[in-house]
Amino acid sequence: MPRTFGHLIAGKEVGSPTTFESRNSSDHADVVGVFPEATREQVREACDAARAAFPGWSATPAPVRGELLGRLGEALAREKEALSRLVNREMGKTLKEARGSVQEAIDTCRFFQSEGRRLYGQTVPSEMPNKELFTYRRPLGVVGIVTAGNFPIAVPSWKIVPALVTGNTIVWKPSEDAPMVAYAFAKLIEEAGLPSGVLNVVYGGGKGAAGEFLVDAMDEGRLDKFAFTGSTAVGRHVGEVAGRNLLHPTLELGGKNPLVVMRDADLDNAVQGALFSAFATGGQRCTSAGNVIVDAPIHDAFVQRFLAAVAGVRIGDPVKVPDVLYGPFINQRFFEHWLAHHDLGAADGATKLYGEGRILPGNLPKGWVGTDPEAAYYGWPTVWGDVTPDMAIFQQETFGPTINLVKVDGIDEAIDVANAVDYGLSSAVYTINRDWAYQFKSRIQAGMTSINNTTNGAEAHLPFGGVKGSGNGTRESGIWVLEAYTYWHAVNDDVSGVLQLAQMDTAYVEPKAAVDVAKLT
């Protein structure tokens, strides 16, 4: 009998009248756990608990908050294998990728443990005597967080860890696709010593459920900050609600990421990079490559090698088969959206070079190594050729194992085509020409660029985020994320004992008579 879990509100586990089951993405008969659907009132209770905990947590010295995150990092490292296998089971990520995502959370804790001993402000000289000027980082207050299921521990850590080290309290609505991973993560944070009410977790869906209720909490005055990872469409709505409440949200949204292969590229390296960029996590990454843009002189050679590599991609249940490139779709909704794009590609006039839709017993690709394809939603790796920027499949995020091949002539056209989408998250170029690499990184409209590497990947000390439809300019990770969870407080301290008015009483030095240098000689 699967275990039933509760929301974590003010240090207590709380149930709800309605529940939902979290199932193994690779085997829908396997129930991982049963979780409550939060009511609107429970979301409000969580916000109120975070508000009540804010004075004590924000007054805790930042180095002490950082030490707690250090203990969390140690707990995550201790439980890395168990957490990785849980990610592997619940959302269908390969074990190798799952281990990498848990390591990302560990790295994030280690980085921000040390930031607890920095969080630098500045001492600024005053234009008045006997007066000092200072700046301080101050926490914003209660942070509402909604995260997606494709990175159920790495991405939440990008938000939760910096929010905590800067002194904020949190209400987190994790993805309904990976609630068990979220519960385990929250319990490890609790083990590290976090006071009750500082982190509250509510479970449930998005529209008409816990996610929507948490967004509505901004209008109710219960939140001081909102951080969201998900689709651009939902992100726009979150941004609208935040804007009318004068909040600056963190929006990490979708992508249609270009990977450019220039005529001088190492083709073997480029093929492997494009393969992983397109199909890792079954293409269910915001940083997955959407369009591979290939320079004309090597286009045919690249396509030939790439299709051969795609035909050899191993696909199956990543829990049972450890060396697959990708496993199932995280949920039925993603699968159906991906399946519909096949009609879109055909209507556009693109040429389908590889792929036959859903993997089923009578429709198995060469690389299928699973046992029962009907136990979950699996998709053929799909490659479209003859794609042009005016096509819908070039423009729209597919969020599945699909890649488009686009032919261009030269670096200028490659950059123009790469920029011809409404997104601007990640990008990559394969070239050994330093000028072409420079041109690409200087002119690409993206928050992140790789040179001779994939469109995927992030490190805990580098900023993560996009431009255009991929975000609102905020960044995750590294020191840059501190701007998202703090405000600057300016303080002037006058010890003169008299009224001094800047700009009005300032004793600027008066110039003396002008010196004519020519007359000096």
Catalytic residue set: 252, 286
End-to-end CA distance of the chain: 100
Helix, strand, or coil (residue 251): strand
3-state class of 432 per DSSP? coil
Q: Are the beta carbons of 306 and 418 closer than 8 angstroms?
A: no
Task: Pick the closest to residue 227 from 235, 447, 219 (CA basis).
Answer: 235
DSSP, res 192:
T
In the structure encoding, which two tokens stand for residue 344, read together? 């879109």
Pairing between β-strand 169-173 and β-strand 199-201 as defined by DSSP bridges: parallel
Q: Where are the alpha helices (DSSP H) in 60-200?
A: 62-78, 80-91, 95-115, 154-165, 179-191
Task: Give alpha helix (H) positions in 280-383.
Answer: 299-311, 332-348
Classified as helix, coil or strand, 488 is strand
Nearest to 284, CA basis, from 326, 229, 233, 313? 326
10 φψ region: left (φ > 0), alpha (ψ -120 to 50), beta (else): left
Half-sphere exposure of 399 (CA within 13 A, CB side): 21
Exposed e or buried b for every residue in 446-461, given b needs 16+ CB within 10 A?
A: bbbbbbebbbbbbebe
CB proximity list for 478: less than 8 A, separation 6 or greater: 111, 460, 461, 462, 463
Within 8 A by CB and 6+ apart from 383, the residues are: 306, 307, 310, 352, 353, 354, 355, 402, 403, 404, 405
State the Cα–Cα distance between residues 401 and 190, nearest whole angstrom. Answer: 37
Angle, CA 386 vertex, CA 259 and CA 359 arms, to 5°: 80
d(CA 407, CA 454): 19
Residue the block writes with tokens 């926490």: 139
CA separation for the pair 442, 418 (Å, rounded) = 13
